Amino acid sequence: MELFTKTLFLCLALAMTHGAPVQDAPVGDGDASSALPDRCDGIEFDAITPDEKGITFFFKGPYLWRGFRGSAQLSNESFKELDDILNGHVDAAFRMHNPDNPDHDHIYFFMADKVYSYYDHVLEDGYPKTIQEGFPGVPTHLDAAVECPRGECMADSVLFFKGNNVHVYDISTKVVKTKTWSHLPVCTSAFRWLEHYYCFHGNNFTRFHPVTGHVNGTYPKDARNYFMACPNRGHGGGYTTPKCSEVELDAITIDDTGKSYFFKGPIYMRLDTHRDGRHAFPITRSWAEITSGVDAVFSFSDKMYMIKDDKVYIYKTGAHYTLVQGYPKTLSEELGIEGPVDAAFVCPNENIVHIIKGQDLFDVNLRVSPRSATAGLLLPLSNIDAALCGPEGIRLFRGSMYYEYETVLLLTTSRIAPIAMPVTSAMLGCRDEE
């Protein structure tokens, strides 16, 4: 438990990619004997964008870097026409997010007054176009661009940066709204990663809110400590992804929209974003009031219930989580059960939360008020850390092992524990044994 918390807490973006081989690229820190630039020298990137597979590309002049590790290569090796057509330099790039549209997941490159669309690294028919034709109302000679899906922005949009102005382009209505964010540095590239927005400037970056432009926390930060593998860099030093055999969870949940998370000590990790890599963040970044971890978490309709000691915090689920007014309340007041509890889960389309406390399972109907817990049913297992119910059935996590049951009835009537299975990197982003 100790080790897992310590190793996950101060984490380095690229380290989590162990569990997500999509980001992998040849490892190397820039070969001193070649003429290729080394991003560990401190590069001001022209553009940064993921491709349709979730691999992040960093561009500078005629070069690109693929993923968070590895050395430079000529851009035209990955994007054929890029070098000769674009004269070896892009102004801005982003990956289209517009699921209802055939352009979804295409990468767009901007150079002077032209736009180029690629899918699967092939230039699409009809491109290049003028920016005026492809994105009417968006200025030429851009500095940066980043996609902003509905939920994070009002509608599926693109933020185009030029100087201190941000031109917010609504993809379906083609309406452009211009804002001035003078407090932000001029971004030479912009990047959305795991629902967070980053403005890159010089060798630094600043995280901002995509609607308000607000910056919280201590910025700028040096990109070399977070977005690339550089010798003797990275905050926290010595960060390693935990081995799967050392994993231990506090809580795990999946909500109605399919977002899934696990929680351990002060950190959480989103689990359904493996295309773009996985990364651990402090819980307080998304749930500001949860300052000392959780015992159990479950999701019901559009709410997330987070339990710690004898308190329940209820958050409304949206692009961001907001604490419902009047919370936290005590467990006995809210759910009719005394804390502390070990784990809790709700199965899809059910109104009952199943709460595990010691070796007992209690049911609370969330549709009746006041709420009360049924008498406890004895489980075949004890010391459960976390539990999840999804389309595959119920998973109970204990240390680095998990147990599967098809239904709650089977869970409470079987007297024999099913076979323990080890958690995998695909499930939890941990590191398989070498």
Ligand X SMILES: *[C@@H]1O[C@H](CO)[C@@H](O)[C@H](O)[C@H]1NC(C)=O
Per CB under 6 A, residues contacting ligand X are 74, 76-77, 83, 201-204, 207-209, 214, 216, 220
Nearer to ligand X, 284 or 412 (CB): 284
* Residue 80 CB, nearest approach to ligand X (Å): 6
- Nearest approach in angstroms of CB 121 to ligand X is 12
Buried residues in 199-232 as b, exposed as e (16+ CB within 10 A): bbbebbbbbbebbebebeeeebbebbebbbbbee
Choice between 220 and 380, CB closer to ligand X: 220
| For ligand X, the closer CB: 204 or 317 | 204
CB of residue 203 vs ligand X: minimum separation in angstroms?
Answer: 6
As a whole number of angstroms, the distance between CA 253 and CA 112 comes to 46
Which residues in 141-259 belong to E strands, given as ranges? 144-148, 157-162, 165-170, 176-180, 189-193, 196-201, 204-208, 221-222, 251-254
Strands (E), 219-376: 221-222, 251-254, 260-264, 267-270, 280-282, 296-300, 303-308, 311-316, 322-323, 329-330, 343-346, 352-357, 360-365
The distance of closest approach from Cβ of residue 44 to ligand X in the complex, given in angstroms and rounded to an integer, is: 7
The least distance separating ligand X from the CB of residue 124, rounded to whole angstroms, comes to 18
The residues near 413 (Cβ < 8 Å, ≥ 6 apart) are none
Tell me whether residue 97 or residue 201 sits nearer to ligand X (CB atom): 201
Which residue from 43, 28, 24 is spatially nearest to 230, judged by alpha carbons?
28
Neighbours of 27 (CB within 10 A): 10
Q: How far apart are CA 377 and CA 393, in angstroms?
A: 19
Least Å distance, CB 245 to ligand X, is 35
The residue (of 208 and 397) whose beta carbon lies closer to ligand X is: 208
Query: Which residue has the CB atom at the shortest distance from ligand X?
Result: 202
Alpha helices in 274-423 (DSSP H): 283-286, 331-335, 408-413
Q: Closest distance between ligand X and the C-beta of residue 220, in Å?
A: 4
Alpha carbon of 84 to those of 80, 114, 330: distances in Å? 9, 14, 65
Least distance to ligand X from the beta carbon of 246, Å? 31
CB nearer ligand X, residue 202 or residue 266:
202
Nearer to ligand X, 201 or 431 (CB): 201
CA 13 to chain centre: 11
Largest alpha-carbon pair distance within the chain?
A: 73
3 state SS of 287? coil
251 closest CA partner among 83, 141, 384: 384
Closest to 7 in 3D by CA, of 168, 216, 244 = 244
Q: Which lies closer to ligand X via its Cβ, residue 148 or residue 254? A: 148
Smallest distance, ligand X to C-beta of residue 288, A: 6
3 state DSSP class of 356: strand
Nearer to ligand X by Cβ, of 83 and 103: the residue is 83
Quote the Cα angle for 176-181-183, to 5°. Answer: 170
Among residues 7 and 273, whose Cβ is nearest to ligand X?
Answer: 273
Q: Are 118 and 110 in contact (CB under 8 A)?
A: no
179 vs 214 by CB, closer to ligand X = 214
Q: Would you give the end-to-end CA distance of the chain in angstroms?
A: 21
* Nearest-approach distance from CB 215 to ligand X, in angstroms: 6
CB of 310 to ligand X, least distance (A): 26
User: What whole-number distance in Å separates Cα of residue 394 and Cα of residue 242?
Assistant: 24
